[in-house]
Structure 1
Amino acid sequence: MGQRLLTVCLTVVALAVSPSSVSQAADGVGEYVALGDSYTSGSFIPVQLDRPLGCERSDRNYPSLVVAALRPAVFRDVSCGGATTGNLTQPQRVRGDGVNPPQLEALTARTDLITLGIGANDIGFADIVGSCTTRSVTRPLGAACRDYYHRGGGDELGARVDSAAPRVAAALRAVRDRAPKAKVLVIGYPAIVSDAGLGCLPLSPGDAGYLSRTFGRLNAMLAEQAREAGVGFVDTASGSAGHDACQPPGVRWVEGAVATTPAAPWHPNAAGMRHVAERVLSALRAG
């Protein structure tokens, strides 16, 4: 009964995300596998699943909404909070002494659809957010975080993005090797903060703009690697302007330093997951 209720609820949510017919997107999808980090798993969004619990995987993340619309015969969501490209091929130890197996082990030659949301942890997402939120409050009219990452004369975060590109490329090759017939979609990151000269505690406007440009550069890198690998890229930043973490509760799709709805700080909330799911379904409908 519980599983049936969950399926019904997810189907209702998915239809609300994509009111048009989903049959165009569903054609030929028999086995869907979701790979990725916390922006895929849905950290702290209810209900959190326990396979393992430390992965912070929600039953309302965008893969769950997409699968409710597509209704493939087989669905495996192996996304995990904190995952890097390395965890696609190596196990990941998570909170609670759990282990998430190498994510690529979920792929088979029969896999028809793969979504991959990865890259932020390769450039040190937690370190970046922690450093910026700590430093920015010391100069609310300046850009202490930006200056910190430029202290050597270059842009350290830009260099991190560039150095992550070969790892993303290698990951996409490995995905192709394991599931050569699958449609692969690389999922970009939504707008986390605004580049419009607006700040929100504890980020100064200058640092918010710097972080926005950094994640824009990350998305551009992911799009380029997807193009070079011959796979699709889903731009989730488009359409999310005005819904970043600096917007009021009820408007934002990404939570700020203090989450006002159930979600991890600086991560998508349930509304953000619905946005990403709609972008994925739109990409599938577009072929």
Structure 2
Amino acid sequence: MKRLLHGMVGALVLAGTALGLTAPAEAATVQYVALGDSMASGPLIPNITGPVGCGRSTNNYAHKLAAALNANLRDVTCSGAKSKHMTESQSTSVGGVDTGTVPPQFDALSTSTTLVTLTIGGNDVGLVGIAEDCMNLDPTATPCKGEFEAEVAQRTADFGPRLSAVLDGIRARAPQARIVVTGYGLYIKKDGCWPLQPVLPTDANFLQGAVNAMNGVIRDQTTAHGGTYIDLVTPSAGHDACQSTSKRWVEGYVPVNLAAPLHPNAQGEAAYATIIGSKLNA
């Protein structure tokens, strides 16, 4: 295919020369800005780049995607980011130690930006903290679902308008950009895998169900704003935290690959980049 395309371009250039026309210019380099939270930044995946408190990795999906696209990348993803940190400075820390503040992520956008990826919502809904609270080593214990279900549903509903404002803000600052918004992946399979991942079957379904509900909000808002939504749950089947070390794309409560607990590992970030790239090509 590549040879065929080169041949077609060459033929067009020769034809244009014969007609006294100038050759077409090279395609402009993609100006890519990556926005988002720790699912996008890749904390504890080697190697660290940027502010240490952001946990940003050179092997996160943005870096992998930029390399595949030969794009100029501005990666401002940051662990702990919420939707408000698109327009507000964010305080960062490592292990409870203050590591300073980072500028609003929207500062990276401009009228020359041609591609934006966004992963946001997990911290608005507070899913990692709730997953930690739901950890249970007693199989006879009361599931945590009843304690958190209403709270998660309300936070998820509240997130919708915030995401809408974020998408409007991206479009206002980067009017020429293609906006690509990812959902979150499959963290734990149906009914879980207690005690490998210490969460009861009812709570495993509740937690992944909360991710799926948040993904629904992300999908609907992205579509309504003319963006491209990336489903990461479906292609993540067989790669959740219950799987073997070599198969999992996300880590469980105790990581077995270099990555933060309950976050994607390097293999997951690379897979996400491939999934996003395939959608862009399509």
Partner residue of 1:217? 213
State the 1:97 CA deviation: 2.5
Partner residue of 2:18? none
Partner residue of 1:12? none
d(CA) in 2 for partners of 1:141 and 1:232? 43
Partner residue of 2:186? 191
Q: String of CA shifts for 1:234-286, please: whole Å, max 9, x gaps.
A: 11112101111111211111000000110000000011011100111011101
Asked if the contact 1:255–1:266 (Cα under 8 Å) also holds between the matched residues in 2, the reply is yes
| Aligned CA distance change for structure 1 residues 253 and 141 (closer, same or farther; 3 Å) | farther
Which of the numbers 78, 89, 92 marks the counterpart of 1:91?
Answer: 89
Structure 1 letter corresponding to 2:105: Q
State the 1:142 CA deviation: 6.0
State the 1:196 CA deviation: 4.6
Which of the numbers 73, 76, 81 marks the counterpart of 2:74?
Answer: 76
Partner residue of 1:201? 197
Partner residue of 2:20? none
Equivalent residue of 1:54, what SS? helix
Equivalent residue of 2:134, what SS? helix
d(CA) in 1 for partners of 2:210 and 2:70? 36
d(CA) in 2 for partners of 1:219 and 1:29? 31
Identity between Structure 1 and Structure 2 (%): 39
Equivalent residue of 1:97, what SS? strand
State the 1:102 CA deviation: 0.2
Structure 1 residue runs without a partner (length 5+): 1-19
Equivalence map 1:24-35=2 (5 Å): 29-35=29-35
Question: Is residue 257 from structure 1 mapped to residue 256 from structure 2 by the alignment?
Answer: no
State the 1:147 CA deviation: 1.8
d(CA) in 2 for partners of 1:61 and 1:145? 32
Asked if the contact 2:130–2:148 (Cα under 8 Å) also holds between the matched residues in 1, the reply is no
Q: String of CA shifts for 1:123-175, please: whole Å, max 9, x gaps.
A: 11332122111xx334x25661112124xxxx321221111110001000000
Question: Is residue 55 from structure 1 mapped to residue 50 from structure 2 by the alignment?
Answer: no
d(CA) in 2 for partners of 1:63 and 1:143? 40
Question: Is residue 282 from structure 1 mapped to residue 278 from structure 2 by the alignment?
Answer: yes
d(CA) in 1 for partners of 2:125 and 2:110? 29
**TM-score under structure 2 length normalisation:** 0.86
d(CA) in 2 for partners of 1:156 and 1:29? 44
Which of the numbers 109, 112, 117 marks the counterpart of 1:115?
Answer: 117
Higher radius of gyration, 1 or 2: 2
d(CA) in 1 for partners of 2:42 and 2:160? 24
Asked if the contact 2:128–2:262 (Cα under 8 Å) also holds between the matched residues in 1, the reply is no
State the 1:203 CA deviation: 0.6
Structure 2 residue runs without a partner (length 5+): 6-26
State the 1:178 CA deviation: 0.2
d(CA) in 1 for partners of 2:77 and 2:119? 8
d(CA) in 2 for partners of 1:107 and 1:143? 47
Q: Count matched residues.
A: 255
State the 1:107 CA deviation: 0.3
State the 1:108 CA deviation: 0.4
d(CA) in 2 for partners of 1:165 and 1:29? 33
State the 1:35 CA deviation: 0.2
Asked if the contact 1:143–1:207 (Cα under 8 Å) also holds between the matched residues in 2, the reply is no
| Aligned CA distance change for structure 1 residues 273 and 197 (closer, same or farther; 3 Å) | closer
Question: Is residue 167 from structure 1 mapped to residue 165 from structure 2 by the alignment?
Answer: no
d(CA) in 2 for partners of 1:53 and 1:271? 21
Asked if the contact 1:141–1:205 (Cα under 8 Å) also holds between the matched residues in 2, the reply is no
**TM-score under structure 1 length normalisation:** 0.84
Asked if the contact 1:142–1:206 (Cα under 8 Å) also holds between the matched residues in 2, the reply is no
Partner residue of 1:226? 222
Q: Which runs of 4+ in 1 moved over 4 A?
A: none
Partner residue of 2:65? 66
Asked if the contact 2:191–2:202 (Cα under 8 Å) also holds between the matched residues in 1, the reply is no
